Structure 1
Amino acid sequence: MTDALDLTLAQKVLAAQPFSNLLGARLVAFGDGEATLELDIRDDLRQQNGFLHGGVLAYAADNTLTFAAGTVVGARLLTAGFTIDYLRPAEGTLLRAHAQVVRAGRSRVVCRCDLSVVDGAGKVTLCAVAQGTIAVPEPARGN
């Protein structure tokens, strides 16, 4: 396995992602097989009924699953695939995605993620769950 990242380096990786910057995503916890990403729910991230758009939830799951895998196998990762189940409409002021590694192998890492919204009073509501497989690519030849 490669050297695991630390929170500061992982935050730099997130900051290098233009789409993450557009959404205002923040990596708030990272280590020991787990990662937590948060973003403020803004009006421009909502769908026509006023709920947080499912694409934003899927983005948060995808990125948080991959960051959780990075805590155990390092930075060189790619999402191989994930599934997401939307449990209820996402209404609140903050989206929090928390992922953890289920199993880490040499070439694949399986993770799961809970996506919750936090309202203005601090009430946390689970709104979606995801599971994903993260690929650890072979090093480029000559490296």
Structure 2
Amino acid sequence: MDDRDPPDFRKRIRESFARQAAMRTIGAELTLVEQGTVEIELPFDDKLTQQHGFLHAGVISAALDSAGTYAAYSVIDPDASILTIEFKVNLLSPGRGERFLFRGEVTKPGSTIIVSDGRGYAIRSDGPAKLIASMTGTMMVVRGREGIEG
């Protein structure tokens, strides 16, 4: 990662996250915002499960995508925005836990394309956090497009 520290990136990320209806709908919270790393957590909720009672893969993917995209957002210029253009998720274990943690980290910063990696963990009171998913995502830096700001 480069040595830039875009002014107020934490504030921009928190404001953008607050506008994300999808994250609000699933009960996600932004719990860590650092340059190049973002964490999102959410509690278990029956409404977010698939037929076997595990956290749905779509919810896992959405949370990992947001964590990785906001990690990328933390390393771009304040006048730019970011959009996901591709991601791949590996579901490694059933989403079974009391809470879930999704961490996104910038792997390769760039002026136009940024790559981030994510990890999703199930957290239970009776044991250590368990890795349930990994993701690699590619994000495009967007500048000067009407309707795509912050």
Per-residue deviation, 1:5: 4.4
Match of 2:136 among 112, 119, 131: 131
2:32 matches 1:29: yes
1:39 counterpart letter in structure 2: L
**Is the Cα–Cα contact under 8 Å of residues 10 and 74 in structure 2 kept in the other structure?**
no
Match of 1:48 among 47, 51, 55: 51
Match of 2:95 among 86, 90, 102: 90
Per-residue deviation, 1:12: 2.0
Q: What's the RMSD between the two structures over aligned residues?
A: 1.9
Q: Distance in 2 between matches of 1:80 and 1:7?
A: 23
**Is the Cα–Cα contact under 8 Å of residues 5 and 71 in structure 1 kept in the other structure?**
no
Give the 5 Å matches for 1:33-112.
33-74=36-77, 76-112=81-117
TM-score, length of structure 1 as denominator length: 0.90
Per-residue deviation, 1:37: 0.6
Structure 1 vs Structure 2: percent identity of aligned residues?
28
**Is the Cα–Cα contact under 8 Å of residues 34 and 68 in structure 1 kept in the other structure?**
yes
Alpha-carbon spacing, 1:134–1:38, altered in 2? closer, same or farther (3 Å): same
Alpha-carbon spacing, 1:11–1:123, altered in 2? closer, same or farther (3 Å): same
Per-residue deviation, 1:51: 0.6
Query: 72-81 vs 22-31, which deviates more?
Result: 72-81
**Is the Cα–Cα contact under 8 Å of residues 121 and 133 in structure 2 kept in the other structure?**
yes
2:6: which partner in 1? 3
**Is the Cα–Cα contact under 8 Å of residues 85 and 130 in structure 1 kept in the other structure?**
yes
1:15: which partner in 2? 18
**Is the Cα–Cα contact under 8 Å of residues 7 and 29 in structure 1 kept in the other structure?**
no
2:39 counterpart letter in structure 1: T
Q: Distance in 1 between matches of 2:95 and 2:13?
A: 26
Per-residue deviation, 1:124: 0.1
**Is the Cα–Cα contact under 8 Å of residues 49 and 56 in structure 2 kept in the other structure?**
yes
SS at the partner of 1:73?
A: coil
Unpaired segments ≥5 residues, structure 2 = none
